[in-house]
């Protein structure tokens, strides 16, 4: 028996990292929103490593924050370790990484959701989509509840026909032995979406008191932690260290001796696993000449003794897992609390989505997160916030927001997914961005806060702070440009900076282009009349120091934008474009790119195809124009 | 998309006895069939077949020319369209007449320069690099240059560029792994390592650029100026080399009044010969112009053949010219070795090395083999006969190679001034992309692939 359970503007299926952001964004933009989850105790759960951030991923968290999302604020309040990585490298790749107290992280996120006006959090398993005239208008749950809405966001993570595999054992399950979602896949397929099977995995967890930390290296957090959210000014969170050890020769021996029991090699696993996150058995086989692999031991929270064994993701049988663990220095007497496992799940081939994350087949149906073939909490949350924003805008009759490749990693990721698709679970890497120097960790607010404000997710007060920061950075840069100095004025300062003396006078700004001279050096000779925060000083310094390279990239962006602005009509029939290669034709029909820029990024579409397409569009436009007359 | 049918004479006018008119487009076969009288209809002809017959002027129904017609049906043709080639045996006038008839056909028009290649390119028949090689192929003059262009289209150069890109991408992957996996125990990226890899790539680019120079010489010929005082035998030398009597040869000093250009192949070495008016101070106005031109030709020459008369002692004019040519590629030809010697050889050797002095008697055609060997040594280090004919011969490719090299030089420079690796990566990536532009395909996901195949990463 089914019954009418309520009407909403937006329904979000799944309360993982994508779902939470989707629901919050939608509700905060004024849409009555329902967030459905199979288990209320699993909201914002971290089924794998208890950490957030790192290169590219940390950038995304800052971007989510600049857009008015929650992940940054949530981790800033619940971290148990904060580290800035890559500090020895350039500013674009500095990356914040936090270890989370995974329980606090969940509880705080759940609380925030529960307290958000217009947002209803409910336990229930969505099993069927209601589609009328090609438009998704609601869902039916396992208990027969019919919820109706104007837009639906599906963020099912690894739950869709989830199957856990470990050694000879195999059973239907969501992550961490949660109930899987077995029927929604069929409904998605029935309405024309094509699904693929992906796989991921997680390592075992061990008891802290059985680890001999003396045989490992300590990895402490930063003494002066920085934060993800631009709103967080300070924190008194106590930090816990992580620990580093390595696999041994014995580890590799055990793995090699037991390969015949490894599902990865026996053919039991059908799904494609992530390249960047291979299991230990995969690493040992593929890089046989590597004598040892790193293993990080990470606390899962303040009030638990569970430690996450990073580097040891595996689907070997439980007994072998224990043998492997105990072959590692420091873990000789370790007690395994949970075993590692591989999990297979259904995902939607992401080329079936528009860049707004709405499906092309079913109007008003959006998907975000792992269901789109990605992996990682941050990737999920980044898509989640965009799907939430665009679902809400769809309901409100507004154009979707699409972040460009030169505007943010979120834009890079979504463009990659919808344009190229992915053959294995997609992870963001800084190398996926063409304009890495523009997509810095430090300027996410400069890039995206205006958008967050425009769509109503960034409030007036924060926007004012943002405008003030921007203005002060510009004024200070201008001041430095106009401050003239003589060699004598800066002789002492340059010496202390270990920099060559100045031969001819000039503006003080130029000195900042020397790698060894910092903003603080300049300020020591020429103090600023403005009250500048550390972030503002950092901004001034980076913008001046890397101006040459930044300008080069900006120029490239300008060229790219020309291609992005050449729009392709949605109703174009590629079968009409005779000289296109067959492969290009097929790909273009599949992806239906919105611009020549997007078309040029499709694998299999050659520059020749683009020339042809350009010629054809010219022809098409002329014909259309002639018809109009 | 509606396409015109295009036609053009595809062989250089005036060269050789045969001229080919190439036709490409949807109406190539039906159009030609309408003006072709033969045993069979071209519409029924199999693809890649040759047919004998006559071109008829439809207006007068008269035979215009006896021809062989080749039919190649798309997409298995050069342009991937239907292509017809008309081989005409007559001279220039007859061929033009055939073309006139062809162009009067419905839907036909003259091909724009390079349009056949452009169509081939736009129809996906050839990639960018092949297209450019084909353009060079058309222009190539000597047999050897033809071979270079052909091999390039087949991908010998492509292979070398790909190998070069591999060097750069391995460096990129290494940098990326350091950035994206900062805690991973991969070998830390050092400035020394970056420099080493960049230098490796630069060395390879330099090698390719050197072949570019050789390739240019092969395609365009060595610009060779023949200089010397009047009546030392310059024009005779040229005539021997060209085996023709194009320059006016007399024994009156100052007879050669213009710069005559001849393209010859000297045992495989292409020379673009500039016979210059005798260089000497003169009051004759006409001759003066000739002298001016000779000096200009001298400036632009790759090789200078300085002819001296063995039968006459050096004069100040000679000494002055020898002095001027000291830093140029110059071969001194001592002509008229059959006559009594009045020339002080030791004095000539003060200006040029003895390796660059060739004794000849142009009249008796002796010493030509030595001249060939000397030129070959000077321009190809004697290795012209080597079979590895990888020459970069396209202006765009050369520019891209140079740009790529500059990016690598910038990267090395950046390591010296403490620029962080992710910023250096921008230069290295630029080098990689410039190389990719030569091949005409896009980089795509291959960097990510490289990262994961080169390094063991994971959690």
Beta strands in B100-235 (DSSP E): 108-110, 222-227
Cα B286 to the center of its chain, rounded Å:
35
Residues B280 and B351 in one domain: yes
| Distance of alpha carbon A406 from alpha carbon A426, whole angstroms | 19
In angstroms, what separates the C-alpha of A90 from chain B's closest C-alpha?
A: 5
Residues B11 and B100 in one domain: yes
Q: What is the pLDDT of residue B132?
A: 52
Domain housing A511: 460-562
| Distance of alpha carbon A168 from alpha carbon A180, whole angstroms | 20
SS (H, E, C) A466-506: HHHHHHHHHHHHHHHHHCEECHHHHHHHHHHCCCCCCCCCE
B122/A49 touch (CB, cutoff 8 Å), yes or no: no
**Residue B429 CB partners (closer than 8 Å, separation 6+):** B172
Q: What is the pLDDT of residue B1?
A: 35
Contact B428, B411 (CB under 8 A): yes
**Nearest neighbour of A430 by CB, restricted to B1, B180, B183:** B180
Which of A373, A429, A560, A620 has the most B C-beta neighbours within 10 Å, making it the best mutation to test the interface with B?
A429
Contact A353, A392 (CB under 8 A): no
Phi-psi region of B155 (alpha: psi -120 to 50; beta: other; left: phi over 0): left
Mean pLDDT calculated for residue range B188-213: 86
Residues B76 and B147 in one domain: no
| Distance of alpha carbon A267 from alpha carbon A263, whole angstroms | 6
A434: nearest CA partner in chain B: B426
Residues A276 and A127 in one domain: no
From B95, B111, B127, the end of a domain falls on B111
From B360, B380, B400, the end of a domain falls on B380
Residues B32 and B92 in one domain: yes
Q: In chain B, how many domains are there?
A: 3
- Tell me which residue of A26, A24, A31, A103 sits closest to A71, measured CA to CA: A24
Residues B367 and B242 in one domain: yes
A220 in a known ligand binding site: no
pLDDT band at residue B254 using 50, 70 and 90 as cut-offs:
very low
The more confident residue out of B302 and A439 is A439
Residues A159 and A102 in one domain: yes
**Nearest neighbour of B179 by CB, restricted to A93, A313, A619:** A93
From B358, B380, B402, the end of a domain falls on B380
Does any CB of chain B come closer than 8 Å to the CB of residue A290?
yes
- pLDDT at residue B283 greater than cutoff 70: no
Please indicate, yes or no, if residue B65 is contained in any of the structural domains. Answer: yes
B182/A429 touch (CB, cutoff 8 Å), yes or no: no
Residues in chain A with CB shorter than 8 Å from the CB of B129 are: none
Q: Find the distance separating the first CA and the last CA of chain A, reported in whole Å.
A: 58
- pLDDT at residue A371 greater than cutoff 90: yes
**Nearest neighbour of A549 by CB, restricted to B426, B440, B445:** B426
Residues in chain B with CB shorter than 8 Å from the CB of A54 are: 182
Residues A237 and A281 in one domain: yes
A311 in a known ligand binding site: no
pLDDT band at residue B451 using 50, 70 and 90 as cut-offs:
low
Report residue B390 as tokens. Answer: 């990888």
Q: What is the pLDDT of residue B403?
A: 83
A556: nearest CA partner in chain B: B430
Residues A366 and A244 in one domain: no
- Tell me which residue of B167, B423, B445, B450 sits closest to A432, measured CA to CA: B445
Residues A78 and A41 in one domain: yes
pLDDT band at residue B112 using 50, 70 and 90 as cut-offs:
low
Q: What is the pLDDT of residue A178?
A: 96
Contact B42, B83 (CB under 8 A): no
B124: nearest CA partner in chain A: A608
* Highest-pLDDT range among A124-133, A514-523, B3-12, B261-270: A124-133
Residues B201 and B235 in one domain: no
Q: What is the pLDDT of residue B17?
A: 57
Q: Find the distance separating the first CA and the last CA of chain B, reported in whole Å.
A: 53
Q: What is the pLDDT of residue A146?
A: 98
Which of the residue ranges A275-284, B234-243, B437-446 would you say has the lowest mean pLDDT?
A: B437-446
**Per-residue model confidence as pLDDT tens digits over A166-190:** 999 999 999 999 999 999 999 999 9
**Nearest neighbour of B447 by CB, restricted to A55, A431, A611:** A431
* CATH number, domain with residue A575: 1.10.150.570
In this structure, the strands spanning B108-110 and B5-9 are: parallel
Longest CA span, chain B: 90
Cβ-based interface (< 8 Å): residues of B facing A: 1, 80, 121-124, 127-128, 172, 176, 178-185, 417-423, 425-426, 440-442, 444-445, 447-448, 451-452, 456-459
**Residue A231 CB partners (closer than 8 Å, separation 6+):** A65, A72, A73, A462
Q: Residue B438 gets which letter from DSSP?
A: H
A577/B176 touch (CB, cutoff 8 Å), yes or no: no
B128/A49 touch (CB, cutoff 8 Å), yes or no: no
Residues B292 and B153 in one domain: no
Q: What is the pLDDT of residue B191?
A: 84
Contact A394, A30 (CB under 8 A): no
How much is the pTM?
Answer: 0.75
pLDDT band at residue A230 using 50, 70 and 90 as cut-offs:
very high
Cβ contacts below 8 Å, chain A against chain B, sum to: 128
Residues A248 and A333 in one domain: yes
A438: nearest CA partner in chain B: B423
From A343, A376, A406, the end of a domain falls on A343
Task: Tell me if residue B52 falls in helix, strand or coil.
Answer: strand
- Preceding omega of A482 cis (within 30 degrees of 0): no
Task: Tell me if residue B435 falls in helix, strand or coil.
Answer: helix
Task: Tell me if residue B290 falls in helix, strand or coil.
Answer: helix
Residues B374 and B233 in one domain: yes
- pLDDT at residue A53 greater than cutoff 70: yes
| Distance of alpha carbon A56 from alpha carbon A65, whole angstroms | 14
Q: What is the pLDDT of residue B182?
A: 85
- pLDDT at residue B410 greater than cutoff 80: yes
pLDDT band at residue B260 using 50, 70 and 90 as cut-offs:
low
Of all helices (H) and strands (E), which one includes residue B304? strand B303-309
A546/B123 touch (CB, cutoff 8 Å), yes or no: no
A55/B179 touch (CB, cutoff 8 Å), yes or no: yes
B151 in a known ligand binding site: no
| Distance of alpha carbon A268 from alpha carbon A256, whole angstroms | 18
B459/A287 touch (CB, cutoff 8 Å), yes or no: no
Kindly list the distances between the CA atom of residue B220 and the CA atoms of A526, B135, B259, B380, in Å, as whole numbers in the listed order: 62, 14, 18, 15
Residues B102 and B192 in one domain: no
Burial class of residue A628 in the structure, from the number of CB atoms within 10 Å of its CB (0-12 exposed, 13-18 middle, 19+ buried): exposed
| Distance of alpha carbon A436 from alpha carbon A445, whole angstroms | 15
**Per-residue model confidence as pLDDT tens digits over B205-228:** 998 888 776 666 666 677 788 888
* CATH number, domain with residue A222: 2.40.30.260
Contact B444, B433 (CB under 8 A): no
B176: nearest CA partner in chain A: A431
Report residue B57 as tokens. Answer: 């002027």
Residues A79 and A153 in one domain: yes
From A405, A421, A455, the end of a domain falls on A455
Please indicate, yes or no, if residue B128 is contained in any of the structural domains. Answer: no
Q: In chain A, how many domains are there?
A: 4
**Nearest neighbour of A431 by CB, restricted to B128, B180, B417:** B180
| Distance of alpha carbon B190 from alpha carbon B356, whole angstroms | 48
Residues A541 and A493 in one domain: yes
* CATH number, domain with residue B49: 3.30.1360.120
- Tell me which residue of B21, B20, B52 sits closest to B36, measured CA to CA: B52
Interface predicted TM-score (ipTM) of this complex, two decimals: 0.84
Residues A22 and A152 in one domain: yes
Mean pLDDT calculated for residue range B407-423: 90
Residues 90-119 of A with CB under 8 A from B: 90-93, 95
A616: nearest CA partner in chain B: B1
Q: What is the pLDDT of residue A404?
A: 95
Residues in chain A with CB shorter than 8 Å from the CB of B444 are: 603
Residues A431 and A577 in one domain: no
Report residue A9 as tokens. Answer: 């503007």
**Residue A471 CB partners (closer than 8 Å, separation 6+):** none
In this structure, the strands spanning A3-13 and A145-154 are: parallel
Residues in chain A with CB shorter than 8 Å from the CB of B441 are: 606-607
Task: Tell me if residue B27 falls in helix, strand or coil.
Answer: coil
Report residue A577 as tokens. Answer: 């474009």
Could you give the dihedral angle defined by the CA atoms of residues B348, B349, B354 and B357, in that order, rounded to the nearest 10 degrees?
-10
Domain housing B277: 229-380
B122/A283 touch (CB, cutoff 8 Å), yes or no: no
Print burial letters for A386-410: b (CB count within 10 Å at least 16), e (below 16): bbbbbbbbbbeeeebbbbbbbbbbb
Residues A494 and A541 in one domain: yes
Residues A288 and A338 in one domain: yes
SS (H, E, C) A410-464: HHHHHHHHHHHCCCCCECCCHHHCCCCCCCCCCCHHHHHHHHHHHCCCCCHHHHH
Of all helices (H) and strands (E), which one includes residue A52? strand A51-53
Please indicate, yes or no, if residue B285 is contained in any of the structural domains. Answer: yes
Mean of the per-residue pLDDT values of chain B: 75
Taking CB atoms within 8 Å and a gap of at least 24, the contacts of A272-275 are A272/A196, A272/A197, A272/A198, A272/A199, A272/A423, A272/A424, A272/A425, A273/A198, A273/A199, A273/A200, A273/A201, A273/A342, A273/A424, A273/A425, A274/A198, A274/A200, A274/A375, A274/A424, A274/A425, A274/A427, A275/A424, A275/B452
In angstroms, what separates the C-alpha of B203 from chain A's closest C-alpha?
A: 26
* CATH number, domain with residue B303: 3.40.50.300
B294 in a known ligand binding site: no
| Distance of alpha carbon A269 from alpha carbon A170, whole angstroms | 10
A436/B417 touch (CB, cutoff 8 Å), yes or no: no
Residues in chain A with CB shorter than 8 Å from the CB of B121 are: 608, 611
- pLDDT at residue B384 greater than cutoff 70: no
B176/A56 touch (CB, cutoff 8 Å), yes or no: no
From A343, A378, A400, the end of a domain falls on A343
Which of B81, B179, B441 has the most A C-beta neighbours within 10 Å, making it the best mutation to test the interface with A?
B179
């Amino acid at each position: 028996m089914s019954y009418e359970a309520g009407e909403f503007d937006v329904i979000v299926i799944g309360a993982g990292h994508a779902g939470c952001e989707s629901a919050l964004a939608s509700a905060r933009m004024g849409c009555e929103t329902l967030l459905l989850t199979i288990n209320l105790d699993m909201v914002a759960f971290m089924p794998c490593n208890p950490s957030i951030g790192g290169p590219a991923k940390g950038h995304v968290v800052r971007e989510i924050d600049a857009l008015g999302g929650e992940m940054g604020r949530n981790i800033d309040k619940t971290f148990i370790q904060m580290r800035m990585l890559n500090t020895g490298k350039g500013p674009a790749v500095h990356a914040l990484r936090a270890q989370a107290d995974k329980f606090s992280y969940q509880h705080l996120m759940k609380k925030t959701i529960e307290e958000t006006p217009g947002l209803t959090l409910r336990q229930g398993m969505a099993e069927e989509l209601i589609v009328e005239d090609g438009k998704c208008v609601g869902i039916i749950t396992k208990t027969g509840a019919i919820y109706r809405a104007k837009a639906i966001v599906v963020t099912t993570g690894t739950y869709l026909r989830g199957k856990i595999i470990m050694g000879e054992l195999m059973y239907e399950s969501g992550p961490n032995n949660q109930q899987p979602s077995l029927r929604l896949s069929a409904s998605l397929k029935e309405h024309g979406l094509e699904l693929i099977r992906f796989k991921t995995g997680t390592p075992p967890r061990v008891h802290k008191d059985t680890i001999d930390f003396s045989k490992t290296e300590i990895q402490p957090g930063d003494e002066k932690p920085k934060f993800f959210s631009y709103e967080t000014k300070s924190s008194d969170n106590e930090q816990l260290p992580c620990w580093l050890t390595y696999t041994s020769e014995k580890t590799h021996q055990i793995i090699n001796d037991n390969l015949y029991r490894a599902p990865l090699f026996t053919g039991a696993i059908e799904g494609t696993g992530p390249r960047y996150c291979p299991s230990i058995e995969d690493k040992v086989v593929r890089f046989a000449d590597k004598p040892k692999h790193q293993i990080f031991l990470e606390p899962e929270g303040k009030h638990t003794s569970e430690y996450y064994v990073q580097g040891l993701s595996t689907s070997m049988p439980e007994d072998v897992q224990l043998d492997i663990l105990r072959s590692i220095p420091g873990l000789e007497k370790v007690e395994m609390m949970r075993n590692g496992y591989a999990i297979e799940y259904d995902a939607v081939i992401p080329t079936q989505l528009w860049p707004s994350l709405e499906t092309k087949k079913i109007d008003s149906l959006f998907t975000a997160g792992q269901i789109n073939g990605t992996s990682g909490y941050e990737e999920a949350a980044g898509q989640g916030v965009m799907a939430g924003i665009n679902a809400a805008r769809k309901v409100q009759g507004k154009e979707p927001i699409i972040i460009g490749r030169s505007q943010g990693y979120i834009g890079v990721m979504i463009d990659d997914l919808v344009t190229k698709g992915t053959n294995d679970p997609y992870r963001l890497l800084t190398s996926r961005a063409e304009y890495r120097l523009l997509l810095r960790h430090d300027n996410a607010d400069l890039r995206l806060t205006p958008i967050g404000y425009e769509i109503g997710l960034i409030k007036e007060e924060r926007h004012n702070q943002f405008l003030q920061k921007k203005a002060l950075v510009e004024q200070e840069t201008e001041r430095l440009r106009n401050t003239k100095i003589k060699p004598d004025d800066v002789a002492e300062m340059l010496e202390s900076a270990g920099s060559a003396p100045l031969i001819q006078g000039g503006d003080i700004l130029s000195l900042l282009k020397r790698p060894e001279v910092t903003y603080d050096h300049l300020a020591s000779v020429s103090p600023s009349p403005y009250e500048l925060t550390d972030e503002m000083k950092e901004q001034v310094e980076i913008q001046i120091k890397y101006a040459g390279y930044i300008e080069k990239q900006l120029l490239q962006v300008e060229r790219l934008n020309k291609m992005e602005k050449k729009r392709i009509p949605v109703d174009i029939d590629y079968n009409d474009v005779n000289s296109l290669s067959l492969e290009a034709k097929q790909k273009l029909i599949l992806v239906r790119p919105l611009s020549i820029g997007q078309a040029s990024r499709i694998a299999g579409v050659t520059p020749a195809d683009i020339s042809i397409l350009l010629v054809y569009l010219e022809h098409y436009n002329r014909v259309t124009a002639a018809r109009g007359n | 998309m509606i396409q015109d049918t295009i036609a053009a004479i595809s062989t250089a006018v005036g060269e050789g006895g045969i001229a080919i008119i190439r036709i490409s487009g949807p109406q190539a076969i039906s159009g030609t069939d309408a003006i072709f009288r033969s045993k069979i209809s071209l519409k029924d002809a199999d693809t890649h077949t040759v047919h004998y017959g006559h071109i008829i002027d439809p207006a007068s129904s008269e035979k215009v020319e006896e021809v062989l017609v080749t039919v190649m049906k798309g997409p298995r043709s050069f342009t991937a369209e239907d292509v017809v080639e008309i081989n005409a045996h007559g001279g220039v006038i007859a061929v033009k007449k055939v073309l006139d008839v062809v162009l009067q056909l419905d839907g036909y028009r003259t091909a724009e320069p390079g349009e056949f290649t452009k169509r081939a390119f736009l129809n996906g028949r050839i990639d960018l690099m092949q297209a450019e090689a084909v353009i060079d192929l058309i222009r190539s003059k000597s047999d050897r240059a033809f071979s270079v262009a052909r091999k390039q289209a087949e991908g010998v150069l492509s292979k070398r560029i790909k190998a070069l890109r591999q060097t750069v991408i391995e460096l990129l992957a290494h940098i990326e792994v350091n950035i994206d996996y900062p805690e991973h125990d991969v070998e830390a990226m050092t400035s020394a390592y970056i420099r080493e890899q960049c230098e490796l790539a630069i060395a390879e680019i330099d090698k390719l650029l050197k072949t570019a120079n050789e390739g240019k010489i092969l395609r365009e010929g060595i610009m060779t100026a023949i200089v010397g005082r009047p009546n030392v035998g310059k024009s005779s030398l040229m005539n021997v080399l060209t085996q023709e009597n194009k320059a006016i040869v007399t024994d009156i000093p100052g007879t050669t009044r213009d710069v005559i250009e001849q393209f010859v192949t000297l045992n495989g070495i292409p020379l673009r010969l500039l016979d210059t008016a005798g260089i000497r101070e003169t009051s004759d106005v006409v001759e003066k112009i000739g002298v001016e031109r000779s000096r200009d030709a001298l400036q632009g020459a790759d090789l200078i053949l300085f002819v001296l008369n063995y039968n006459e002692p050096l004069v100040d004019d000679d000494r002055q010219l020898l002095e001027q040519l000291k830093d140029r590629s110059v071969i001194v030809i001592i002509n008229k070795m059959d006559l009594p010697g009045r020339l002080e050889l030791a004095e000539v050797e003060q200006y040029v090395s003895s390796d660059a002095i060739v004794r000849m008697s142009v009249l008796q055609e002796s010493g030509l083999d030595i001249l060939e060997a000397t030129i070959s040594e000077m321009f190809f280090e004697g290795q012209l006969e080597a079979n590895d004919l990888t020459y970069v011969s396209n202006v765009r490719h050369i520019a891209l190679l140079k740009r790529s090299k500059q990016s690598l030089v910038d990267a090395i420079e950046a390591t010296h001034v403490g620029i962080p690796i992710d910023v250096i990566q921008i230069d290295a990536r630029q080098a990689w992309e410039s190389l990719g532009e030569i091949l005409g395909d896009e980089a795509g996901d291959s960097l990510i692939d490289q990262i994961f195949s080169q390094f063991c990463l994971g959690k």
